[in-house]
Amino acid sequence: MKEMVDGIIGAGGFQMIINIVIILLKIAAVVAVALLHVAYATYWERKVIGHMQVRLGPREVGPFGLFQPFADGIKLFFKEDIIPANADKPLFYLAPVIFFVAALTSLSVLPFFNGFVIANINVGILFLFAMSSLGAYGIVLSGWSSNSKYAFLGGMRSASQIISYEIAMGLSLVGVMMLAGSLNLTDIVKAQQQYPLGVFAIPQILGFFVFVVAAFAETNRLPFDLPEAESELVAGYFTEYSGFRFALFFLGEYTGMLIMSAIAALCFLGGWGLPAFITANVPHILAQVLGLFWFLIKVYAFMFFYYWIRATLPRYRYDQLMAIGWKLLIPLALANIVLTGLVKIWVKGII
Amino acid sequence: MLPKLFFGYFAAVITVLSILVVTRRNPVHSVMWMLLLFFNLASMYLFLDAEFIAAIQVIVYAGAILVLFLFVVLLLNLREELKANRFIGSWPAGLIVAAAIMVSMVFAINSFVPGPMGTYSIDYIQKETYTKVLGEVLYTEYLFPFEIASLILLIAIIGAIVLAKKRMRS
């Protein structure tokens, strides 16, 4: 087998094909698990918010309403697909796909446990920024191509919000990059082991604060869900979408939340990193599994924080939103960079 | 063989996309082809082991500058824009200048002699990671030009704010 394949495509061809198959399997596993997580994130959100508002949440479909996400998915899949008259059809079709693809592609650089990452690239964090800026196109285009005033206003709001907060988010992560000395997410997690509690959230408390606020704005979640403010804009940029195209936006938004939670867990909360006395005393495989669970617990905690804020805070006004982004978060993030640099030079000087 | 194939593919796609960008009637479609063009350019940088430049290309050009383009284009009156001519009257002159530049480029490339190999070989860059090497070179060897460039950008930012403020007052 090996000789035959090598004979056809040259030496090393067999190994290359095996590598490609392994990567494809990894992609299939990550996408399947992430989409299941996204499905149950909607269920979990409805339960959490229900209980916070003294309701019960979904409980009709299956035990405790556990099959509700599937019922929703099937319902959306069979709904009529409506396209507005005078819509720019190619872009109308393309917009949800861009949005969803940008969200899913970001999953490829996230390390879920030690050594498990689809693409271990050196510029992991920058790749995540690039993909989140691509997602903005899905939003602007959906708003413009629907040929609807609500959608257009929602799209414009959302685009300006995402662009403004992307700067704050990027700057807030610069501190992390400086401490870790790398843009690779795996290296960042490993670098955190030497810090108290194995997290960057303590030395980077300013950066963490800016990141959390910016993450809420980036994913269009309350209290910054201006682009889809129901009382003013119906549903914002995806007002005109129905059926499965709407579902793509919905899935993209929740995948975005999952990715933001994962970035917070990896860059500030220590990722899968376990204390040395645990990794030294348990078998390697058990340490990996524990690391995965430790990472997932942090991700879920951050997701819960998203829901908690949604149930607690009212929506900001648009000018307030912009003022917070440009006049508070960006200066804070810049100050954080200067402070981190000074401390790093000072500490090095002592050693 | 494979690198040449990839280069040929990207060169062809980039050329086709550039032509698509300038010939579309709908400016929003032009911007979308340009987005695809930027991604192809980024792949070209990746192909040259310049992953940092590739990421920055997507973040800055596709993520910020092109979104601003899109903002401006969205505010145009599309009905008038669709009727207007794609090219201004003097396009043949532009074509001649472009052709002349291309011919001189072909001659220039033919007489190109690669310089001696420096410290920054591909192996060295791959070992040290591209971002780190770029940072070291920028902040030591080329610190002065780098600071001048940042000063020019700062002046441009301040100038933009001053212009916007003046209009608000009147």
B11 located within any domain: yes
Shortest CA gap A114–chain B (Å): 21
B138 located within any domain: yes
CATH number, domain at B42?
A: 1.20.120.1200
Q: Report d(CA A273, CA A299) in Å as an integer.
A: 13
Last residue of a domain, one of B82, B107, B136: B82
Q: Residue B161 sits in which domain range?
A: 120-170
B145 located within any domain: yes
Residues of chain A with pLDDT under 50: 351
User: Is A166 close to B32, i.e. CB distance below 8 A?
Assistant: no
Q: What is the DSSP string of A15-31?
A: HHHHHHHHHHHHHHHHH
Q: Report d(CA A99, CA A285) in Å as an integer.
A: 36
Q: What part of A 18-37 touches B (C-beta under 8 Å)?
A: none
A92 and A242 in contact (C-beta within 8 Å)? no
Instruction: Say yes or no: B64 contacts chain A, CB-CB below 8 A.
Output: yes
CA closest to A125 among chain B residues: B55
Residues B78 and B124 in one domain: no
Element (H, E) at A309: helix A284-312
Instruction: Read off the pLDDT of residues A153-172 as tens digits, 9 standing for 90 and up.
Output: 888 888 788 888 888 888 88
Residues of chain B with pLDDT under 50: none
Instruction: Say yes or no: A134 contacts chain B, CB-CB below 8 A.
Output: yes
B26 chain-A contacts, CB cut-off 8 A: 88
Tell me the residue type at B92: P
A34 and A107 in contact (C-beta within 8 Å)? yes
Find the CB nearest A130 among B58, B70, B74: B58
pLDDT at res. A285 = 82
Instruction: Say yes or no: A151 contacts chain B, CB-CB below 8 A.
Output: no
B131 chain-A contacts, CB cut-off 8 A: 122-123, 183
B97 located within any domain: no
B63 chain-A contacts, CB cut-off 8 A: 129-130, 132-134, 136, 163, 166
Q: Which residue has the tokens 């009727």?
A: B83
Strands (E) located in chain A: none
Q: Report d(CA A171, CA A30) in Å as an integer.
A: 28
The residues facing A113 across adjacent strands are: A116
B141 located within any domain: yes
Instruction: Give the number of domains in chain B.
Output: 2
Instruction: Read off the pLDDT of residues B101-136 as tens digits, 9 standing for 90 and up.
Output: 999 999 998 888 888 877 777 788 778 788 888 888
**Distance (Å) of CA A57 to CA A38, A66, A69, A235:** 17, 11, 13, 22
Residues B72 and B135 in one domain: no
Whether residue A223 is preceded by a cis peptide bond, meaning omega within 30 degrees of 0, is yes
CA closest to A181 among chain B residues: B132
Find the CB nearest B51 among A94, A122, A159: A122
B3 located within any domain: yes
The complex scores an ipTM of 0.79
Tokens of residue A340, six digits: 């981190």
Residues B49 and B3 in one domain: yes
The residues facing A116 across adjacent strands are: A113
Residues B75 and B134 in one domain: no
User: Is A126 close to B26, i.e. CB distance below 8 A?
Assistant: no
Tokens of residue A11, six digits: 């030496």
Instruction: Say yes or no: A15 contacts chain B, CB-CB below 8 A.
Output: no
Residues B16 and B74 in one domain: yes
Q: Report d(CA A172, CA A184) in Å as an integer.
A: 16
Residues B73 and B146 in one domain: no
Residues B61 and B132 in one domain: no
Instruction: Say yes or no: B71 contacts chain A, CB-CB below 8 A.
Output: yes
Instruction: Say yes or no: A122 contacts chain B, CB-CB below 8 A.
Output: yes
Find the CB nearest B55 among A130, A160, A166: A130
Sign of torsion, CA B1 B2 B6 B7? negative
Instruction: Say yes or no: A137 contacts chain B, CB-CB below 8 A.
Output: yes
Return the SS3 of A241.
coil
pLDDT at res. A351 = 46
Instruction: Say yes or no: B78 contacts chain A, CB-CB below 8 A.
Output: no
Q: Report d(CA A12, CA A10) in Å as an integer.
A: 6
pLDDT at res. B145 = 93
